């Protein structure tokens, strides 16, 4: 691989990272939720007039919209290119936050955050990873995917304190407007750096030690979406993604509320520190999966997450801010690993040609998991001892997912009909951008 190609590949990777740093405002929802709850409880002119039981609905709808927008965005990315797809994402997020800045009604926030911003997150996120992967050899799939998506997990490190400052200084409406303008400018500006390699581009084989011969090229199946959903691996991956994402999002969406009991106004620090774990999990899991395989890495992360969910019961009950932050950081770490592993699985199993659409369909597990687990945990939390029941449910599901992982295989298997075979790692573009 030439120096120029390597430099260009890293430019695309950093642009994707930057876009995800903006779109990761999703994980700061617990900060917004806290401000809305305070407004409801305080009352008065201009206050939010929602029922407390519906306060998490915009976040739940956002997760669901995000996931299913990824299917449309993935197809768009495959056909129109990543730059146009990310540009659409930036405009959608901006319009969603602008709508929220003009109204505090329940419907406006469900549409603004839940639908418009959720769709924008999907379009921006779908466009960021595929072009970066195409510039590098398949031996770097995990680390490149992990680096790009790390931005989404790391975002609350700055968004949480920034949002807390804006909300405290300017109130909710102006804060949403400022955030909307900033994120639109950043995502739309960086979208122009998301470019696919020229047609026929072949990443160089990684260097080998001594006289060792380069690894033999493998045949990769460029499956279409119908072929993918006929594969048993798809349903095993979808189920594990549902479990891993749902358990993590359940905690991420509530961490500020849990931390507020012991940390007061500094609860945003728990969100920011958890984000470091979230981002770290994406990078480390990506690197580890390149070394020991996706299957082994996924089993380790899900098993660890199961233990942490059961450990959360005494930790949350102890009221210790230190233990809570440590717990949340490691839960975020394991959750983040999913966002590096599953795009890598999709590329390994089903190839590049229809990658955007294929991963978009697989990503639906993330949204359904977040929506279902979020709603179930809210219902359980309304009961006596409900918080403990939520952690027990999440821990049991993660343990089940760990067992299910052993039925996966690291190597590509010929379980799709009439596959199109190409020599890996030739990335073929649908359209240059």
Domain definitions of the chain by residue range: 3-43+51-197+219-423
Inter-axis angle of helices 232-252 and 386-405, to 10 degrees?
150
The torsion angle over the Cα atoms of residues 283, 285, 291 and 293, rounded to 10 degrees, is -140
Neighbours of 107 (CB within 10 A): 9
Give bridge partners of residue 421 from the DSSP assignment. 221
- DSSP SS3 for 221: strand
Distances (CA, A) of 222 to 79, 98, 229, 259: 15, 40, 13, 46
Task: Confirm if 385 and 313 have CB atoms less than 8 A apart.
Answer: no
Would you state the pLDDT for residue 373?
85
Q: Quick one: pLDDT at residue 284?
A: 92
- How high is the pLDDT of residue 2? 55
The answer to whether 162 and 178 have CB atoms below 8 angstroms apart is no
Write down the pLDDT at residue 295: 93
Contact between residue 366 and residue 63 where contact means Cβ atoms under 8 Å apart: yes
Contact 105, 86 (CB under 8 A): no
Which segments of the chain have a pLDDT < 50? 1, 211-212, 215-219, 412-433
User: What is d(CA 398, CA 241) in angstroms, rounded to the nearest whole number?
Assistant: 10
Q: H-helix or E-strand containing 219?
A: strand 219-221
Rg over alpha carbons for the chain, rounded to the nearest Å, is: 21
Instruction: Calculate the alpha carbon distances from 355 to 47, 78, 159, 433 in Å.
Output: 45, 7, 30, 16
Structure letter (DSSP) for residue 211: T
With vertex at residue 28, the alpha carbon angle to CA 259 and CA 323, rounded to the nearest 5 degrees, is: 25
| Domain 3-43+51-197+219-423, CATH among 3.40.630.10, 1.20.1250.20, 1.10.10.10, 3.40.50.2000 | 1.20.1250.20
Q: What is the pLDDT of residues 308-337, one digit of tens each?
A: 999 988 988 887 888 888 888 899 899 989
pLDDT (tens digit, 9 = 90+) per residue, 260-285? 776 776 777 777 788 888 889 989 99
Q: Which residues pair with 422 in a beta bridge?
A: 220
Whole-number pLDDT of residue 257:
67
- How many Cα atoms are found within 13 Å in the side-chain-facing hemisphere of 48? 25
Query: CA 433 to CA 425: how far, in whole Å?
Result: 20
Give the pLDDT of residue 119: 95
Residue 260: CB partners within 8 Å, gap ≥ 6?
34, 267
């Amino acid at each position: 691989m030439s120096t120029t190609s390597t430099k260009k590949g890293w430019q695309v990777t950093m642009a994707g990272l930057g876009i995800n740093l903006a779109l990761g405002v999703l994980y700061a929802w617990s900060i917004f939720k806290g401000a809305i709850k305070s407004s409801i409880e305080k009352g008065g002119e201009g206050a939010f007039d929602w029922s407390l039981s519906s306060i998490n609905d915009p976040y739940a709808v956002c997760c669901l919209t995000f996931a299913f927008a990824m299917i449309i965005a993935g197809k768009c990315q495959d056909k129109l290119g990543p730059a146009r797809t990310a540009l659409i994402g930036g405009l959608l997020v901006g319009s969603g936050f602008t709508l929220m800045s003009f109204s505090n009604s329940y419907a406006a926030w469900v549409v603004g955050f839940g639908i418009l911003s959720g769709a924008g997150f999907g379009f921006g996120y779908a466009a960021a990873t595929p072009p970066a992967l195409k510039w590098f050899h398949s031996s770097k799939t995990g680390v490149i995917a992990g680096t790009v998506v790390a931005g989404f997990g790391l975002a609350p490190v700055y968004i949480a304190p920034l949002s807390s400052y804006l909300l405290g200084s300017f109130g909710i409406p102006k804060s949403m407007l400022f955030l909307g303008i900033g994120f639109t400018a950043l995502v739309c500006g960086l979208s122009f750096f998301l470019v696919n390699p020229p047609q026929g581009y072949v990443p160089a084989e990684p260097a080998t030690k001594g006289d060792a011969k380069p690894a033999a090229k493998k045949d990769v199946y460029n499956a279409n979406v119908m072929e993918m959903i006929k594969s048993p691996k798809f349903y095993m991956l979808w189920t594990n993604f549902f479990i891993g994402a749902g358990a993590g999002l359940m905690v991420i969406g509530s961490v500020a509320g849990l931390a507020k009991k012991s940390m007061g106004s500094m609860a945003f620090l728990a969100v920011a520190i958890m984000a470091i774990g979230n981002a770290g999990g994406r990078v480390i899991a990506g690197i580890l999966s390149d070394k020991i395989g996706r299957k082994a890495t996924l089993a380790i992360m899900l098993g660890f997450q199961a233990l942490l969910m059961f450990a959360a019961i005494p930790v949350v009950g102890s009221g210790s801010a230190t233990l809570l932050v440590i717990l949340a950081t490691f839960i975020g770490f394991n959750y983040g690993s999913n966002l590096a592993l599953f795009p890598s699985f999709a590329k390994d199993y089903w190839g590049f040609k229809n990658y955007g659409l294929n991963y978009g369909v697989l990503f639906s597990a993330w949204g359904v998991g977040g929506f279902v687990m979020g709603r179930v945990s809210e219902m359980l939390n309304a009961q006596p001892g409900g918080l403990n029941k939520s952690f027990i449910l999440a821990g049991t599901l993660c343990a089940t997912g760990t067992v299910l992982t052993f039925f996966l295989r690291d190597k590509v298997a010929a379980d799709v009909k009439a596959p199109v075979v190409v020599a890996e790692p030739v990335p073929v573009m649908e359209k240059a951008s």
